[in-house]
Amino acid sequence: MTDRTTETVPTASTQDYLTDAAQRTVLFMETMLNRGNNYLEHLDQGTPPLLKFEHEVVLDGATLAEPCNYALLRLVPPPEYAVNPQARPVVVVDPRAGHGPGIGGFKLDSEVGMAMRAGHTVYFVTFRPEPEDGQTLITVMHAEARFLEAVIARHPQSKAKPVVIGNCQAGWAMMALNATRPELFGPLMIMGAPVSYWAGSSKLNPMRYAGASLGGSWMASLAGDMGADRFDGVHLVENFEKLNPANTWWNKYYNLWSQVDTEAERFLEFERWWGGYFRMTGTEIESIVENLFVGNKLARGTVMADGQAIDLRQITAPIVVFASWGDNITPPPQALNWIIDTWGDERAIAAAGRTIIYVLHESVGHLGIFVGGDVARKEHDQLVTSLDVIESLPPGLYEMKLTAKAGLDEQRWDQLEPGDYTVHYEYRTMADIVALNPEGRDEEAMFSTISKVSEANAQFYKNWVRPWVKLMATRPVSDAMGKLNSMRLQRQLFSDNFPLAGLIRQQAEQARQHRVAVADEHPLKLLEKKISGQINETLNKYRDQRDADTVKSTRQMFGPQGLGAFIKPDVPDADIAHARALLELASFREVALAHITEGGFPEAVCRIVLAGMVSIGAFERRSLRLARLLAQLPANVRSGTEQVNWIALLKAQACITAVAPIEALNALEQLLPTPASRENALAVSAAVMMIEPTLTNPRSEIIEFLMNTLGADPERVIGLARELTEALDTPKEGIQPTQPIAAATKAKPAAKKRKV
């Protein structure tokens, strides 16, 4: 596009404002013509993924024994991003929820960009606009498993399995695949992914009530059948737009018009992706709506694949869940309640050796999770650079917290914790997740009733209506109807094919040459903004009233005073999971007690560190990286521990302390039979927890308690702890600060005062 030279008039007349408004109008119309051209050009190109990076096809799903429209790409990093051949690969999977692929990587500051910047080879799972005939969700799952196998085969030098990032719809798809093929996965990050569809509140996500107003899943089946086994993704995009009519009908266009000199490029970049509509098979959308959107079956473990139920408890690698309070598509309860329904008790997560971490953002919207530059530079960057720590965490449930280093007292963290943020992982319980549900979970019983009504309606439709629809539906008619959809027509018609396009471009060029832009403080500009605000407020009131009416009618029809009185809801999934967890915990405890006194110095150190971190309430990223340096301890301390895999041992001991915490500490006397071994273990633990050298900090209470119970000399423990941290601060030959943390770095000691 031609650069626009703008001269702002500080003291402008009414005529100046009218000139400015007229010029903005023709520039706005020109931008809309460009939007239409971009749409047509994208169609002519075959609707390729909108990635910022060059790429090559590694494996095409169309060539597999079970063909599908998915493909695996390797992204070529910019020259300034050096690839570390030892770093594990990262696989980004974009959602197939109406739009085309590319949302996770069409900016440098994105999930893809952050992973490349950290030295990882990045792969991207893309898909074409049209599915293959007969394609199902299981077909796609098998293809994605083949993609991960191909990635692993291409990186034999990396001993770690790939990190997989699943955006939105791809999040639950990757969880299902991970549960059936856990050997293919390293850490799994699910971003803005709805897994618990009945969760939420009437204020957070009114979309969950849509299933009730439509009578369940049968409408999705009808749409797929009318398309001759094709479901047009444009319908999903329309549903998204209906959620926020103020933005759809006014705000995004007013923002463009009011700031057309600077906003046009960003608008066109986003609209190029937003206007790409992809199709699914009717079988795919039917399975999604029946099993997930309305059925909510994934968390309960009742979704079937290849003859077996998908059990999310079979996911062995760490899971990181990113959710935001500003997300009206997938608010935190929908992203997190599966943890309660799957595990029932946080101790069951730890006892089974699993690690689940969640990150909550205060305000970013659903799409901002994937494309927001600030989110990429902060949360995505810290997640990617913390992979070694995430895998080192003892099993359990955590919330990841980020704090800017600027202004904090500690300034000696560069080697232990590079970057602008300090990160820690706070212990969480099921009660903490329940507390995130603003209206509680009682209303989920109503959605259980809705699901049963949906199943009855779907069965009626399949038996009595579907045969007639399929008899009449044809693909050519479906294709023609899709092209007439208003979402497509507004782009197709207003392009350079528009009869007045030439005149608009001529006027736009004149506006650029003689641009007059009044200041924001101009009275008429202020009036303009005020009117825009009133329009926005009116549309928001309409939305709120519409949503309130939908919620009210749903409660009246399906609640305990309606059909819920006759079609009883099922027992809550959380209750079933909790009962199962108690039985499993009893079994785990019996096994743990049988081995409670086995081990020696290494096991004792791990138990003390775990007890200390539990008393603190969090693991800090820098502490976990320091724990990796235990192999560098002085010979008199590390004697007999040279071959210890400290991370694996820490995880194993965490499984024991989760079910028998008191007994694990009581057994320390047997694990540490001599005074010297007890003092060494306490000193090492204090150094690892970074509470040395003061030990008067309230966070060191567990060390003080154990010094008393084990009869250790406090002065000797304090002195040895100080020596250890000073020794770890000494540069090690051959170790450079820029090496990956996992390879061992030069560590700096803890600051004497800590802030979390």
pLDDT in tens, 12-62: 689 999 999 999 999 999 999 999 999 999 999 888 887 878 889 999 999
Residue with the bigger pLDDT between 313 and 5: it is 313
Q: Could you tell me if 453 and 294 are in contact, meaning their C-beta atoms sit under 8 angstroms apart?
A: no
- Give the position of tokens 């449930």: 397
Residue 402, pLDDT > 90, answer no
pLDDT class of 82 with cuts at 50, 70, 90: confident
pLDDT class of 373 with cuts at 50, 70, 90: low
How much is the pLDDT for 392?
85
Residue with the bigger pLDDT between 81 and 31: it is 31
Residue with the bigger pLDDT between 695 and 489: it is 489
Q: How many CA atoms lie within 13 A of 726 on its CB side?
A: 7
Residue with the bigger pLDDT between 68 and 373: it is 68
How much is the pLDDT for 750?
33
pLDDT class of 419 with cuts at 50, 70, 90: low
* Longest CA–CA separation in the chain, Å: 92
3-class DSSP state of 162: coil
Residue 127, pLDDT > 90, answer yes
pLDDT class of 733 with cuts at 50, 70, 90: very low
Residue 440, pLDDT > 90, answer no
DSSP H helical ranges for 395-443: 430-434
CA distance 376 to 369: 8
Outline where DSSP puts E strands in 516-587.
517-518
How much is the pLDDT for 311?
96
Long-range contacts of 466-471 (CB under 8 A, 24+ apart): 466/221, 466/225, 469/222, 469/225, 469/226, 470/225, 470/228
β-pair partners for 518: 9
CA distance 136 to 67: 10
Residue with the bigger pLDDT between 555 and 415: it is 555
Residue 740, pLDDT > 50, answer no
Residue with the bigger pLDDT between 370 and 431: it is 431
Looking at domain 54-217+306-444, its CATH superfamily turns out to be Alpha/Beta hydrolase fold, catalytic domain (3.40.50.1820)
pLDDT tens per residue, range 214-272? 889 999 999 999 999 999 999 999 988 998 999 999 999 999 999 999 999 999 988 98
Residue 652, pLDDT > 50, answer yes
Residue with the bigger pLDDT between 614 and 692: it is 614
In the predicted model, what is the mean pLDDT of the chain? 86
Per-domain boundaries in the chain: 54-217+306-444, 595-743
99-115: average pLDDT: 76
Residue 169, pLDDT > 60, answer yes
Please report, rounded to a whole number, the percentage of residues in the chain having pLDDT higher than 70: 86
Which segment of 217-226, 323-332, 745-754 scores lowest on mean pLDDT? 745-754
Closest CA to 102 of 153, 45, 150: 45
Which residues have C-beta within 8 Å of that of residue 585, sequence separation ≥ 6? 345, 347, 348, 351, 659
Q: Is 396 left (phi over 0), alpha (psi -120 to 50) or beta?
A: left
Residue 110 main-chain phi, psi, to 5 deg: -150, 180
How much is the pLDDT for 736?
30
Residue 583, pLDDT > 60, answer yes
How much is the pLDDT for 141?
97
**Residue 726, Cβ neighbours under 10 Å: how many?**
12
Residue with the bigger pLDDT between 643 and 498: it is 498
Rg of the chain over Cα atoms, rounded to whole angstroms, equals 29
Which stretch, 382-396, 482-496, 702-716, has highest mean pLDDT?
Answer: 482-496
- Give the position of tokens 């910047």: 117
